[in-house]
């Protein structure tokens, strides 16, 4: 069975590993990057807490000893279901089974100004762009004489009060408190403002009331201005226009307010559900197809427990990949297809960190809530286990340990491309 998997994220990589060296399978894993990205720690790359290489792992290294998994560095352009093939920017690849695990991208909700001026954080490259932006702004600040312009530069707006928004706001607040005053003594960082804007009435909407309340308390303690029930209408690169007509001058806006599925060309509009996700059945099969599947953030699957589909988090993608691997083995062996597994998400809990010794954790069964230092240790332990590679885990843990005791990090580097001299 020739299985083509598009996407090397949590779902696609997990499925490829489950089928690795399984008899009867030939697997091709396609991704536009040659590495797996650990998305939960993008915010630490953006705030100079971790190096990009610490949370990225080469896909080819994962499968160095594989006899049946091959990697293709390419971008999917179109699915031609009638001919059982995909078209990438480099070649056409036939398949027996196609698995789409292309994940999700930033959703600017059609606002072109936001798309042009705000900074998304859905890839390692985008996280590095935010890091470069922040550091360059402070390098430029000492030369600015105009007080209004300087204040605009010192204001950072984070839009979206989910885990990403909460975590990056907390990390920025800790930079402001412990690091930036030492790096830039000529600047008055008491004038630096970090705003977290959330359209709902609380942060961490998907988590418990306790977690929402605690996260706001932690952020306020760190000096973040949390503004709930606040919608962003527009941003021109200089001022954030709010729905109520108020404005916030800001040179930097980090957008963490929404995501949309990456659906390739070749599918009918009727298959696309809310959030630009593709409709599937309980086996992760794309509706109307027998040999095309969708996993993770891309899949829109309605179940009795989740009538509006599952949350777009890594555990969903991983569990769907495990189920699909088991079902594909049954199909390959031509076993009784009535034995196939239907997907049911086992929610083991959710968590978010705000800063050093500050985090929130919710466990559904038994119903438990943790906050503060214990929750922070749980958060660190789980994320260390999920990172690929012993070397990456070692460096991440070392960086965290160094940062914890020194209140500092040495990754605040600006890499520029200088013009080469012209030989005459």
State the catalytic residues.
167
Instruction: Check the CA dihedral 56-57-58-59 and report its sign.
Output: negative
Quick one: how many helices (H) and strands (E) in the chain? 12, 25
- Indicate the SS3 state at residue 234: strand
Taking the C-alpha atoms of residue 57 and residue 319, their distance in angstroms, rounded to an integer, is 21
To which residue do tokens 């030989």 refer? Answer: 423
Taking the C-alpha atoms of residue 172 and residue 168, their distance in angstroms, rounded to an integer, is 6
Closest to 38 measured CA to CA, from 123, 120, 101: 123
Taking the C-alpha atoms of residue 272 and residue 269, their distance in angstroms, rounded to an integer, is 5
Taking the C-alpha atoms of residue 407 and residue 388, their distance in angstroms, rounded to an integer, is 26
102's enclosing H/E stretch is none
Taking the C-alpha atoms of residue 262 and residue 243, their distance in angstroms, rounded to an integer, is 28
Phi/psi of residue 125, nearest 5 degrees: -60, -45
- Indicate the SS3 state at residue 292: strand
């Amino acid at each position: 069975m020739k299985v083509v998997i598009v996407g090397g994220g949590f779902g696609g990589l997990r499925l490829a590993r489950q089928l690795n060296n399984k008899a009867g399978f030939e697997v091709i894993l396609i991704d536009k990057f040659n590495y797996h990205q650990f998305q939960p720690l993008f915010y630490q790359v953006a705030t100079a807490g971790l190096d990009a290489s610490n949370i990225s792992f080469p896909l080819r290294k994962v499968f160095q000893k594989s006899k049946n998994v091959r990697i293709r560095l390419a971008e999917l352009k179109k699915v031609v279901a009638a001919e059982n093939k995909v078209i990438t920017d480099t070649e056409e690849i036939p398949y027996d089974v196609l698995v789409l695990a292309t994940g999700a991208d930033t959703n600017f909700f059609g606002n072109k100004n936001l798309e042009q001026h705000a900074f998304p954080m859905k890839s390692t490259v985008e996280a590095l762009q935010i890091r470069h932006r922040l550091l360059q702004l402070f390098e430029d600040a000492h030369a600015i004489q105009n007080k209004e312009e300087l204040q605009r530069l010192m204001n950072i707006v984070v839009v979206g009060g989910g885990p990403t928004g909460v975590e990056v706001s907390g990390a920025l607040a800790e930079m402001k408190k412990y690091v930036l005053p030492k790096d830039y003594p000529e600047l008055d960082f008491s004038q630096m403002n970090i705003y977290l804007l959330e359209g709902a009435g609380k942060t961490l909407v998907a988590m418990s009331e306790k977690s929402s309340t605690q996260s706001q308390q932690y952020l306020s303690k760190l000096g973040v201005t949390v503004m709930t029930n606040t919608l962003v209408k527009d941003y021109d690169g200089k001022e954030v226009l709010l729905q109520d007509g108020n404005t916030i001058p800001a040179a930097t806006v980090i957008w963490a307010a929404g995501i949309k599925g990456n659906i390739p060309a070749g599918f009918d509009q009727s298959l696309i559900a809310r959030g630009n996700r593709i409709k599937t059945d309980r086996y992760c099969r794309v509706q109307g197809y027998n040999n095309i599947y969708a996993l993770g953030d891309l899949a829109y699957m309605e179940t009795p427990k989740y009538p509006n589909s599952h949350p777009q988090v890594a555990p969903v993608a991983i569990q769907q990949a495990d189920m699909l691997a088991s079902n594909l083995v049954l199909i390959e062996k031509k076993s009784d297809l009535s034995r196939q597994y239907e997907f049911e998400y086992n929610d083991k809990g959710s968590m978010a960190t705000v800063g050093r010794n500050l985090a929130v954790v919710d466990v559904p069964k038994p119903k438990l809530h943790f906050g503060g230092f214990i929750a922070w240790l749980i958060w660190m332990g789980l994320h260390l286990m999920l990172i690929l590679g012993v070397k990456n885990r070692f460096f991440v843990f070392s960086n965290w340990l160094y940062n914890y005791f020194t209140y500092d990090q040495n990754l605040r580097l600006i890499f520029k491309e200088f013009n080469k001299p012209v030989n005459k």
